[in-house]
Amino acid sequence: MSRTAPRALTVPPPLRPPVAPLPPAPFRVLLVNPFYAKDPHASFGKHVLTPSLALTSIAAATPHPWRCDYWDENLLQGPPPASPPPQVVGISVHLTFAERAFALADHYRRLGSKVVLGGLHVLSCPDECRPHADALVLAEGVHVWSRVLRDVEADTLQPEYRGSWHSPHYAEDPPPARQLVPRRSFLTTTSLIATRGCHNRCGFCYLSTDGVRMPYQMRPPAHVAAEFAADRQPYGVFVDNNLGSRPDYLRQLCAALRPLQKIWSAAVTIDVTDDPALVREMALAGCTGVFVGFESLESANLDAARKRTPRPDDYARRVRILHDHGIQVNGSFVLGFDHDGPDVFARTVEWIERAKLECATFHVLTPYPGTPMFAQFEREGRLLHRDWSRYDTANVVFRPARMTPEQLADGYEWCYRTLFSFGSIWRRRPDDRRAVPAYLAMSLLYKKCNWLWPFLIRHRLVGPLWRPLVELSRRRHLRFRARLAAQGAGPGVRADSVVSAGV
């Protein structure tokens, strides 16, 4: 695959003032997801699998008479609209695209809009964000959004609003305003969230950022199922940090999802396989793929990161449990821990191929500001710079303990190049020959067609191209579920013929 990304995927569109500037349109809100540069080593397709829930959730909380529009710069439709400028612009600010978020904020303020910034970077670095905003929203924004807009109406906008993740009304939050999202631009617009939080607090994870105290909260399973059904898509993606943190809740959710006859994927930790009966219930409810944060094959790395997980020497057995129930595995691996030497790359790739993981996602260890790891590396003088645009898990921003920064960067690239090669894709093919054509179609499109993705994204062809494959996967999985249900609650049937929509 290409080692360079086209300009449209690395450089944001220019921001130019309108030819004939107009006054801000009253009671109009524009919510913007800023542009960020794409990693040329990974798949460009992963950026349009499903939309973020953050801004559509804010949109759902917008009170009458305000009207809300949504703009995602990463869909390659150009800069967000500005003629006339909206009265209020809300921008999500994350570490890697903070610079672009600030440029957008400054642009709209010059046009007369009130700019409200929110997101994790606002929480971790508020002083850096404050000069670019009329107001900051720290922590959860859904429950303060209506107050922000009412204060704009009364001309009493405050410089700072503090939300809370401890809201007793979390279960009653309105569903995201998915009607604002262009359906043709994504594999599926049904991104779902059933739970918030995680039982782990890994030192490298954004959930360990200072000021983030996110309790584990759950929405009623019936509400989640109704939301899934209402979007009329065959495939949904749960964006929960860990859908399996509470096995009792996951069982209830599976019972609610099973009658829908849809397919879905979710992030879980590998300890979901502690109970194969629960994995069976996931499969019967439509789960065809899981994203599992294995992080490392070295126990010492996991211990140092404070990740509570089964031991790596048991990973392969647990992956087989998922495979036996028709559930594909996308494994996430972090490279550059203090116990990683130059041999970590080959060892990780060899294990992935032996375990036949359908997909793998690699991350360079990245110390996010506000996390314990950032504080540690800062004390030890190991940070190379503070260029936040490169704190994207694709660039080396610190000095590793047992290799050079160059070795880590080269190893990261080698892992993607090897796993996305024709040879590796073929070695990880399903054992059932009937499943191979569908597996290859999805794998090659996702992993070998970076040259095609900009065209598909720009012309909003992602959905039309992917959905026939998704529907094929759904029908295949329904047949498999019928066999699994007929077998009873035994050890499971080999499900090599099932191919997930999630690659």
Domain ranges for the chain: 7-162, 190-382+419-428+461-487
Homologous superfamily, domain 190-382+419-428+461-487: Aldolase class I (3.20.20.70)
Ramachandran category for residue 103: left, alpha or beta (phi over 0 → left; psi -120 to 50 → alpha): alpha
Residue 260 has pLDDT above 90, yes or no: yes
Confidence at 489, pLDDT banded by 50, 70, 90: low
CATH topology of domain 7-162: Rossmann fold (3.40.50)
Give the separation between CA 27 and CA 251, rounded to whole angstroms. Answer: 43
315-324 and 344-355 helices, crossing angle to 10°: 30
Residue 207 has pLDDT above 90, yes or no: no
What confidence tens digit (pLDDT) does each residue in 140-152 have?
Answer: 888 899 999 999 9
Give the ranges where 135-290 is alpha helix by DSSP (H). Answer: 145-153, 221-230, 247-257, 276-284
Would you say the C-alpha torsion 298, 299, 301, 302 has a positive or negative sign? positive
What confidence tens digit (pLDDT) does each residue in 153-167 have?
Answer: 999 999 999 987 665
Supply the pLDDT for residue 495: 46
Q: Residue 415 has which token pair?
A: 């892992």
Among 42-46, 139-143, 413-417, 461-465, the range scoring the smallest mean pLDDT is 139-143
Supply the pLDDT for residue 3: 66
Give the separation between CA 369 and CA 207, rounded to whole angstroms. Answer: 11
| Mean pLDDT calculated for residue range 210-215 | 57
Domains 7-162 and 190-382+419-428+461-487 share a fold: no
Give the separation between CA 315 and CA 270, rounded to whole angstroms. Answer: 8
What is the model's pTM?
0.90
Q: Which helix (H) or strand (E) holds 215?
A: none
What confidence tens digit (pLDDT) does each residue in 61-106 have?
Answer: 999 999 999 999 999 999 999 999 999 999 999 999 999 999 999 9
**C-alpha dist (Å) from residue 102 to 32, 392, 458:** 12, 17, 24
What confidence tens digit (pLDDT) does each residue in 233-247 have?
Answer: 999 999 999 999 999
What distance lies between CA 484 and its chain's CA centroid?
A: 30
